[in-house]
Chain A
Amino acid sequence: MGRYVARRLLLTIPVMLGASFLIFAMVFALPGDPIAALAGDRPLAPAVAAQLRAEFNLNDPLWLQYVKYVGDLFQGDFGTDFAGRPVLDTILDRLPVTAKLALVAILFEIVIGIVAGVLAGIRRNSFFDNLVLVSTTIVVSVPILVLAFLAQFVLGLKLELFPIAGVREGWYSYLLPGLVLAAGSVAYVARLTRTSMAENLRADYVRTARAKGLKPSTVVVRHTLRNSLIPVVTFIGADIGTLMGGAIVTETVFNIPGIGRAVFESIQRQEGAVVVGIVTLLVFFFIFFNLVVDVLYAVLDPRIRYD
């Protein structure tokens, strides 16, 4: 197992280098002059513009810019944005906020998604099962932007149950955006759990367990649920990475100062160093959580061995 994990971790290095170069090339190869845009209606004095270009290596060819960037990166220097603020500071400031949001979203996925899925799976074709099917269909088919505005307008402004925007009320502020961010995944998790449960409940080993006269709750929780969760855990694990990156819309609508908003704002300003820094980090998260999922597999299903 240890060797497997080590090998997987080593593999992330070329993947991250490749990903970062792609992102780097995409951002820096964008046509246009970020320094010119920086000045707006009035152009910068020529000497000032030259100074800034030199500072950010903007006159170098792309490959050289990348080599310089990675060189700095290996010394722990993520570079600075055009305002001179270290990118690392931005990441460290914003990451915890997005992490909280993602955590809230994951909890919603686990609690609502799995519970609804299990109940629907046990009582197939019941009223509850149909309710889950209908509501998940609605949630999945409505774009997240609409959901966000709807939640904000109804639950925030009209009913005053949640803050409309910002993170001023601590964890409480994260509930509504977390729910919106999780909505699609909650529906997916519920569906996945339901199907998986329904399938496994019909499996031979469950029938055997029942036949042995085990308590129904033991049959469901110890025997069926554990096996049924394997695809669900895969999905949730992969979803952590997606949630971290996919928070752009939610963070913008709910005005949450996290990574998603930082990426969005940086793309608008063509702040290459910031975009590359953050997105590379997100790629790393994605790879990392997928690794965690693969390892968890072995725990959930002893038949799976990696050595």
Chain B
Amino acid sequence: MKLSKRNSSLVATAIAAALVLSACGGDDADSGEAEGAATGGSYSVALYSDPENPLVPSNTSESEGAQVLEALWTGLIQYAADGSVEYTGIAESIESEDSQTWTITLNDGWTFHDGTPVTANSFVDAWNWAAYSENAQGASYFFSNIEGYGDLQAETDDAGNVVSPAIATEMSGLEVVDDQTFEVTLSAPFAQFPVTVGYNAFHPLPEGFFGDPEAYGRLPIGTGPFKADGEFEPGQGITLSRYEDYAGPNPAQAETVEFRVYSDVDTAYLDVQGGNLDVAPDLPPDAIASAQDVFGDAYLEAPSSGFQYLGYPLYDERFSDPRVRQAFSMAIDRDAISEAIFQGTKQAADAFVAPIVDGYREGACEYCVLDPEAANALLDEAGFDRTQPIELWFNSGAGHDAWVQAAGNQIRDNLGVDYVLRGDLDFAQYLPLLAEQGATGPFRLGWSMDYPSPQNYLEPLYSQAAIPPNGSNRVFYTNQEFDALVQQGNSAESNEEAIEFYNQAEDILSEDMPSIPMFFDVEQAVHADTVSDVVIDVFGHIRTAEVTVN
């Protein structure tokens, strides 16, 4: 070998320099964009992984599968991009006198992609199938407030083994009146019910499904503006074409949409710049700052339903005093963290309910504002032992390291309490640990809503009924007053009244501070100039039907 070690490292340095230089040149690099781009009304959207499960609505709760379902299905109702409920779906009306028994009337003329009509049975059968525990549908708990749901659940022991099978296959609370009408009886009044039924889990299924669910999961037949022409190719994606007999008022603009799986967000971003991909609904973190300059109007930002928080282990004595919990929350400068870590693309949380839902109040969380003085006073009052560090938990490999550490720094600087990061568990270990009350300090969690109601940010996270393993109350918060107020909201007669109760419930949380609200997420996306009318809704989905190809 003639090249000495020193020389080879020189060469490596030169290459690194060349890399950096060429990367800097990237800012003015939109030259080759959109040359000879697709014509004839086709466009492509990136997905960042395969859907986790076959594309059956009741088994799709993760974001990428849900994005495909957004194009393939229209449910009873639809949500506008801002999250408000629109009767542009299959339901003509959803009515009730007591908020407990609901009569759902369907519009005429809706068909599945295989041509069969959508009837009341399409819903009732689909819901019963999804709720039946032997079918192991991820979203089965969405039907848990329908009368008779319990009979469809197999009995399990503490070790998680099935001890006896379910005793029924149909919920007593579902009744078909005629082809266009069915009745839903809930086990308790729930005024928000109509708001919830736009969620995936409530989508109808054609009769053909029940004969062969597996084949169907590979080639889904929905009711949406686009239909699947072929199976989802794992690792590659799926192409959908416009459903010409779509009965809704907002049919698809483009002729086809292709969902393309990218394993790497950087690659997708490069591909949009190169003009080979039309829409990238997510950006590499280090590109967020420059994307606006590179893409101009084709860079989009939209509020999303996503919400990050630090939960308290309420079972831990150190955090049992509400004053301690208030103090830590007041010691964190959320804006500074957003600026430093997220280039300002997170919104500092000032409530327990995200701004995108009706019922959000600005500044509802009094202790979410930075106030080191008050925080220190509260900590003293509570007699908190500052010599012991607190442990901050988060799941590894999901990009939470930096902001949790920043929060720890704020706590250390403002309160003089040191911290230890506990970020060595991945999600599969992290969740069971939380369910077993294993966290020894504040722990990171996120939430994105299923349907736009403040209730969805309260009941599943803080009600006694949602304590693991039954729900997501991983802080193990119990407060009967809170539960009662949520129930009152659920059974309220009008939306305004319901919101009033939910607000009161939120006020209790704001005082008790079972968790530290941290950030509301903001979605970023870029698209090539081959397409316009690209809109991201509050669920973080591209509205595929609205996109027009230039």
Contact = CB atoms under 8 A, between A and B. Distances in A.
Interface of A: 30-34, 36-55, 59, 82-85, 90, 93-94, 130, 133-134, 137-138, 141-142, 146, 149-150, 152-154, 156-158, 160, 163-166, 251-255, 257-258, 261-262, 264-265, 268-270
A84 B53 CA distance: 8
B267 A43 contact: no
Interface of B: 1-3, 8-9, 11-12, 15-16, 19, 22-23, 26, 29, 32, 49-54, 61-62, 133-134, 136-138, 140-141, 144, 153-156, 159-162, 166, 214, 217, 233-236, 260-264, 266-268, 270-271, 273-274, 276, 397, 425-432, 435, 445-448, 460, 468-472
A241 to B, nearest CB: 22
Contact of A33 (B22, B29, B271, B432): B432
Contacts of B23: 153
Contacts of A142: 12, 15
A46 B52 contact: no
Given A158-B22, A265-B50, A165 B11 contact: no
Nearest to B62: A40
B138 A44 contact: yes
A137 to B, nearest CB: 5
Contacts of B274: 156-157, 160, 164
A157 B263 contact: no
A50 B236 contact: no
Contacts of A130: 2
B138 A265 contact: no
A82 B217 CA distance: 13
A82 B23 CA distance: 40
A257 B217 CA distance: 21
A36 B435 contact: yes
Contacts of A39: 61, 138, 431
15 contacts: A32-B425, A38-B138, A40-B427, A43-B471, A44-B138, A45-B133, A50-B160, A90-B234, A142-B15, A157-B32, A157-B274, A164-B270, A165-B262, A165-B267, A257-B261
A53 B157 CA distance: 13
B432 A42 contact: no
Contact of B270 (A54, A83, A156): A156
A219 B103 CA distance: 92
Contacts of A152: 267, 270
Nearest to B143: A45
Nearest to B460: A42
A262 B235 contact: yes
A285 to B, nearest CB: 20
A20 B289 CA distance: 46
A158 B50 CA distance: 29
Q: Which residue among A45, A163, A265 has the maximum number of chain B CB atoms within 10 Å of its CB? A: A45
Contacts of B469: 43, 46, 49
Contact of A55 (B136, B235, B445, B447): B136
Contact of B15 (A31, A42, A138, A258): A138
Contacts of B134: 51
Given A49-B160, A141-B8, 13 more contacts: A37-B431, A38-B138, A47-B153, A82-B53, A141-B9, A153-B22, A157-B29, A157-B273, A160-B32, A160-B274, A164-B267, A255-B267, A257-B234
Contacts of A31: 429
Nearest to A152: B270
A307 to B, nearest CB: 40
B153 A36 contact: no
Q: Which residue among A31, A133, A251, A264 has the maximum number of chain B CB atoms within 10 Å of its CB? A: A31
Contacts of B266: 149, 253
A252 B267 CA distance: 9
Contacts of A133: 1-3
A138 B263 contact: no
B428 A134 contact: no
Contacts of A165: 262, 267-268, 270-271, 276
A189 to B, nearest CB: 16
Contacts of A141: 8-9, 11-12
A130 B9 CA distance: 17
Contact of B234 (A43, A85, A158): A85
Contacts of B11: 134, 137-138, 141
Contacts of A269: 52
B535 to A, nearest CB: 25
Contacts of A48: 133, 136-138, 140-141
A50 B429 contact: no
A48 B132 CA distance: 9
A85 B3 CA distance: 52
Contacts of B2: 130, 133
A47 B235 contact: no
Contacts of A157: 29, 32, 270, 273-274
A150 B266 CA distance: 13
* Complex A-B, nearest 9 residue pairs according to Cβ-Cβ distance, in ascending order: A257-B235, A32-B429, A32-B428, A47-B133, A37-B428, A47-B153, A50-B156, A36-B431, A51-B136
B530 to A, nearest CB: 16
Contacts of B429: 31-33
Nearest to B446: A41
A264 B263 contact: yes
Given A153-B270, A163-B276, A164-B276, A83 B19 contact: no
Contacts of B140: 44-45, 47-48
B85 to A, nearest CB: 22
